Amino acid sequence: MTTIQKNIEIPEDRRLRLDLTLPEGFPAGQAKVLVFISPDAETGPPAPLPELAGSLKDSPNFSGDPMEIQRKIRSDVW
């Protein structure tokens, strides 16, 4: 995984057009890209774990027996 940080100006239409150059040696092909946006460029990306803690506690997909949930995830039967 490679992390790239770039400070940008958010335009009035709020449409981002990203132009990134990946490091030499980064493989070509399919990739997953995640975008974290912080309103203040000085603070950097948010800390994912504290922000997400407890966010699934009321989710109907994750209520019930934890072992059964894991079995469903592993068998991909939702």
Would residue 23 count as lying in a domain?
A: yes
Q: What tens digit of pLDDT does each residue of 17-49 get?
A: 888 888 888 899 998 888 877 777 565 555 566
Query: How many distinct structural domains can be found in the chain?
Result: 1
Residue 10 has pLDDT above 80, yes or no: yes
The structure tokens listed for 47 are 């800390």
Would residue 35 count as lying in a domain?
A: yes
What's the pLDDT at 45? Answer: 56
What's the pLDDT at 30? Answer: 92
Would residue 70 count as lying in a domain?
A: no
Angstrom distance (rounded) from CA 70 to CA 3:
30
Give the domain range for residue 44: 1-49
Would residue 75 count as lying in a domain?
A: no
Angstrom distance (rounded) from CA 52 to CA 54:
6
Q: What are phi and psi of 70, to 5 degrees?
A: -60, -40
pTM for the predicted model, two decimal places: 0.38
DSSP H or E segment with residue 72:
helix 66-75
- Cβ 43 vs Cβ 49: under 8 Å: no
